[in-house]
Structure 1
Amino acid sequence: MYPDLSYFLHDVFGTERDNIFSIIQTFGLLLAIAFLVSAWVLYLEIKRREQLGQFKPKKVVREIGLPASTSELITNGLFGFILGYKLVYAYQEWDQFLLDAASVILSPYGDALGGLLVGAAFVAYSYWQGQRRKLPKPKKVSEKIYPRQRVGEITIVAALSGIVGAKFFALFESADTFRAFLADPVNTLFSGSGLAIYGGLIVAFAVCFWWVKRQGMKPIHMMDAVAPALMIGYAVGRLGCHFSGDGDWGIVNEMPQPSWFILPEWMWAYDYPHNVLNQGVPIEGCEDRYCRRLESPVYPTPVWESIICTGLFGVLWYLRKKLTVPGMLFAVYLVMNGVERFFIEKIRVNETFYLLGIEMTQAELISFFTILAGLLFGGWLYKKHGRF
Structure 2
Amino acid sequence: MYPNLYYAFKDLFGVNWNGLRFINSFGFFVALSFLAAAYILTLELKRKERAGLLSFQEVKMNVGKGASAGELLLNFLLGFLLGYKIIGLFIAGSEAADPQQFIFSSEGNWPVGIGLGILFAGLKWWEKHKQKLDKPEERTIRIWPHDRVGDLVIYAALFGFLGAKIFHNLENWQDFKTNPIEALLSFSGLTFYGGLICAAVAIWFYTRKHKISFTHLCDAIAPALILAYSIGRIGCQVAGDGDWGVLNSAYVTVPGNQSTVQLADTARFQGTLQSHGNFYLRTFQVNNISEVPHISVKAPGWLPNWLFAYTYPHNVVNEGVRIPGCEGDQFCNQLPIPVFPTPFYETVTSFLLFLLLWTLRKKMKIPGTLFGIYLIVNGIERFFVEQIRVNTKYSIFGFHPTQAEIIAVMLVIGGAALYFISKKKYAAKVETNKA
Q: Give the TM-score band, short-chain normalised.
A: 0.7 to 0.9
In structure 2, the partner of 1:212 is 207
CA distance in 1: counterparts of 2:214 and 2:17, whole angstroms? 46
**How far did 1:235 drift?**
0.4
Instruction: Give the counterpart of 1:228 among 214, 223, 228.
Output: 223
CA distance in 2: counterparts of 1:243 and 1:377, whole angstroms? 36
Partner deviation per Cα, 1:329-350 (whole Å, 9 max, x = no partner): 1111111111111121111111
In structure 2, the partner of 1:155 is 153
In structure 2, the partner of 1:143 is 141
Partner deviation per Cα, 1:110-169 (whole Å, 9 max, x = no partner): 569779946973556645654554322112334333222222222122111111111122
Correspondences of 1:1-388 after superposition (within 5 Å) = 1-13=1-13, 15=14, 19-80=18-79, 82-83=81-82, 86-87=85-86, 90=89, 94-95=93-94, 97=96, 99-105=97-103, 107=104, 109=106, 117=114, 121=118, 122-123=120-121, 126-127=124-125, 130-131=128-129, 133-180=131-178, 183-185=179-181, 187-255=182-250, 258=298, 263-287=303-327, 288-386=329-427
Segment drifting more, 31-40 vs 350-359: 350-359
The 1:327–1:81 alpha-carbon spacing in structure 2 relative to 1, beyond 3 Å, is same
The 1:190–1:62 alpha-carbon spacing in structure 2 relative to 1, beyond 3 Å, is same
Partner deviation per Cα, 1:179-222 (whole Å, 9 max, x = no partner): 13xx544x432222221111111111111121123222111000
Equivalent residue letter for 1:195: L
Partner deviation per Cα, 1:333-388 (whole Å, 9 max, x = no partner): 1111111111211111112232334222221222121122112222222332349x
Q: CA RMSD in A?
A: 2.9
1:355 is paired with a residue whose SS is coil
* Aligned residues with identical type, % of pairs: 39
2:395 is paired with a residue whose SS is strand
**How far did 1:67 drift?**
1.8
| TM-score, normalised by the number of residues in structure 2 | 0.79
Where does structure 1 lack aligned partners over 5 or more consecutive residues? none
The 1:128–1:176 alpha-carbon spacing in structure 2 relative to 1, beyond 3 Å, is same
Please say if residues 63 and 138 of structure 1, whose CA atoms lie closer than 8 Å, have aligned partners that are also in contact.
yes
The 1:207–1:91 alpha-carbon spacing in structure 2 relative to 1, beyond 3 Å, is same
CA distance in 2: counterparts of 1:103 and 1:331, whole angstroms? 42
The 1:178–1:7 alpha-carbon spacing in structure 2 relative to 1, beyond 3 Å, is closer
Equivalent residue letter for 1:365: I
CA distance in 2: counterparts of 1:205 and 1:102, whole angstroms? 29
Segment drifting more, 254-263 vs 346-355: 254-263
CA distance in 1: counterparts of 2:210 and 2:301, whole angstroms? 49
**How far did 1:93 drift?**
6.7
The 1:140–1:5 alpha-carbon spacing in structure 2 relative to 1, beyond 3 Å, is same
Segment drifting more, 80-89 vs 370-379: 80-89
1:354 is paired with a residue whose SS is coil
**How far did 1:109 drift?**
4.3
Segment drifting more, 216-225 vs 314-323: 314-323
**How far did 1:22 drift?**
2.6
Please say if residues 88 and 114 of structure 1, whose CA atoms lie closer than 8 Å, have aligned partners that are also in contact.
no
Where does structure 2 lack aligned partners over 5 or more consecutive residues? 251-262, 264-296, 429-435
CA distance in 2: counterparts of 1:193 and 1:245, whole angstroms? 10
Equivalent residue letter for 2:7: Y
The 1:178–1:285 alpha-carbon spacing in structure 2 relative to 1, beyond 3 Å, is closer
| TM-score, normalised by the number of residues in structure 1 | 0.87
Segment drifting more, 117-126 vs 334-343: 117-126
The 1:21–1:79 alpha-carbon spacing in structure 2 relative to 1, beyond 3 Å, is closer
Structure having the higher Rg: 2
